[in-house]
Amino acid sequence: MLPGPRPSRETNVTVSQVASKRERPFREIQKPYQKPRASNFSKKQPQTDSRRRAQCAVRRVRRLHVGGARTALFNWLFAKSQGGELVLRVEDTDVARSTKESEAAILEGLKWCGISWDEGPDVGGEHGPYRQSERIKAGIYEKQLEKLMAEGHAYRCFLTPEELDEMRAEAERNEQAFVVQSPWANASEEEVQAMIDEGKPYVYRFRVPFDREIVVDDLVLGEVIWNSDDLGGDFVIVRQNGMPMYNFGVVTDDASMGITHVLRAQEHLMNTPRQILMYEALGLKVPTFGHMPLILAPDRTKLSKRHGAVSVGEYQKRGYLPSGLVNYLAQLGWNDGTKQEIYTIEELLEAFKMERMSKVAAIFDTDKFKWVNGHHVRRLSDEEALEQIGERLKDQGLVKEVSGDFVKKASQLLRDRISTLEDAVEELTAMLEFDLEGMMAKEVAKPYIEDGSLNETARLLLKAKEQGDFDDIGKDPQVMKKIAKQISEARGGVKKKALLVPLRLCLTSSAQGPDMSVFFEMLQEVDDNVLCKCVSLDERLDMLKEKFVDQPVPC
């Protein structure tokens, strides 16, 4: 690999001087200046590219975070709404944590969300390979590093961790910002070769120019300006073993894959000026950048495991639908300017525009997410409900097979009552078990026990049974209405809550629930396919007799 000619640079630091005084006072690295906008939404940067190419870079570690899924979704929406292409790239250089299994799980999670790509490790393409580990073997990064070295934009640095720590400590003692100005930036070829011959470890650093203004017209944030002196000095781009660091790897990959638009979270904003410097040093076209708002927890801290589920896989296991997840993620930092909240993927593609992206961090509200998902559950067709809800009931051991009239009716009944597929199991179990003792202990039952209406309703139901009024229940939807009317008249014409709550408590052990005619129609279909505990109507009425007649409840 070429060491490159000795570049000229205005600095007094020599190899013998590990640390130097700084002129600027100690402070955190400055945040970039943002030109004020008239509104919270940025203007769209005009483009001249005939073909948009966005990228989705996934780290092959552990699981697909909802933040990563949202980034992939926005890149997919942008590319497809513009008639462009999406390229999927796998960052698998973290050898300790990177596994084939985690890569497969992440790609499967993206596909489950309905996100597809035109090029990637599993579908191929003209710009492969698409795994960084394979690109290292192909020498892709080495060629770009050689170019930087040959033109004086990069150099070998032999600073040890201890020397860097001392430089950092001295900067703090002098109340100065820690800026890496390596003494090896201007070392001679002889000095460098001597260290190599001694077997001294080294890294490759990018030479950051002094006092350089860097400007980007961000699709979301608008014009953002940095000064190169605020970037922390010369930064590492490649380790001695040839492993590229993040910024160098991203620039090399995006350029070689023809990426025209880089859309990512705002946490990557400070990487942008470093990447722009490398694009220019390599003589490459700088892509258009767009930095999307962060996703925060309700307490406005970084969304993490302590706030609950954070991965796509976890929400999939909890019974969220892909359409519900995509709908909710799309609204974390974006809206179409209307009051619409429920979207199909087709509607999102039609409405998506980058200029409607917000600059402000989005709050991940699990209650709102569940509400959105509930709308998508209720949009399921009868066939989809049978497949989705029926499979969940089977997986949880409530039924043997996803077939038969019971499963069909149960799926349709539950569809209108649940927000997630996980809710279906709890909801159906509560309906079928009939926990009379538990109902009596509930606060909702207390006033009806005290005023005697629960006892009276139970006796009237038993009378209706003796008269044969329940004989056609489950077959004739009018039966339950007739019984309710009889009880209302017997109780002096009570209506609504005073009538229906004690009636539901007596027949379902719950104050709320589905239409009782539909419920008993489902109950009549219980057969050998049902594995969970199921209390029939006759058994429920017998339990009422034992509780309210044989052992009357005192008012």
Q: Could you give the residue numbers annotated as active site?
A: 305
Q: Which two tokens stand for residue 88?
A: 């999927």
- 336 burial class (0-12, 13-18, 19+ CB within 10 angstroms)? middle
Tokens, residue 413: 């009944």
User: Taking the mean position of all CA atoms in its chain, how far away is CA 249?
Assistant: 24
Question: What would the two tokens of residue 8 be?
Answer: 């000229």
Residues whose CB is less than 8 angstroms from the CB of residue 69 and which lie 6 or more positions away in sequence, other chains included = 109, 110, 113, 115, 312, 325, 329
Cis peptide before 129 (omega within 30 of 0): yes
How far the first Cα of the chain sits from its last, in Å, is: 93
| 3-state SS, residue 33 | strand
- Run of H or E including 489: helix 478-490
* Cα–Cα dist 25/301, whole Å: 30
Q: What is the rounded distance in angstroms from the CA atom of residue 444 to the CA atom of residue 271?
A: 57
> What is the distance between the alpha carbons of residues 76 and 82, in angstroms, rounded to a whole number?
10
- Alpha helix (H) residue ranges in 344-477: 345-351, 366-378, 382-395, 404-415, 421-433, 436-441, 446-450, 453-466
Contacts of 83 (CB under 8 A, 6+ apart): 51, 52
**If you count them, how many residues does the chain have?**
555
Which of 336, 228, 193, 222 has the alpha carbon at shortest distance from 289?
Answer: 222
Find the angle CA(76)-CA(82)-CA(85) to the nearest 5 degrees: 50
Phi, psi for residue 261 in degrees, rounded to 5: -135, 125
Integer Cα distance of 357 and 334 in angstroms: 5
What gap in Å lies between CA 311 and CA 305, rounded to an integer?
9
CA-closest candidate to residue 182, choices 157, 148, 212: 157
Distance CA 484, CA 480 (A): 6
Asked if residue 313 lies in contact with residue 64, where contact means CB atoms within 8 angstroms, the answer is yes
Q: Which two tokens stand for residue 505?
A: 């408590």
HSE-up of 161 (CA within 13 Å, CB side)? 0
| Strand order from edge to edge, sheet including 154-157 | 154-157, 203-206, 235-239
Of 351, 411, 402, give the one whose Cα is nearest residue 377: 411
Cis, peptide link before residue 161, omega less than 30° from 0: no
Question: In sequence order, what E strands does 302-343 have?
Answer: none
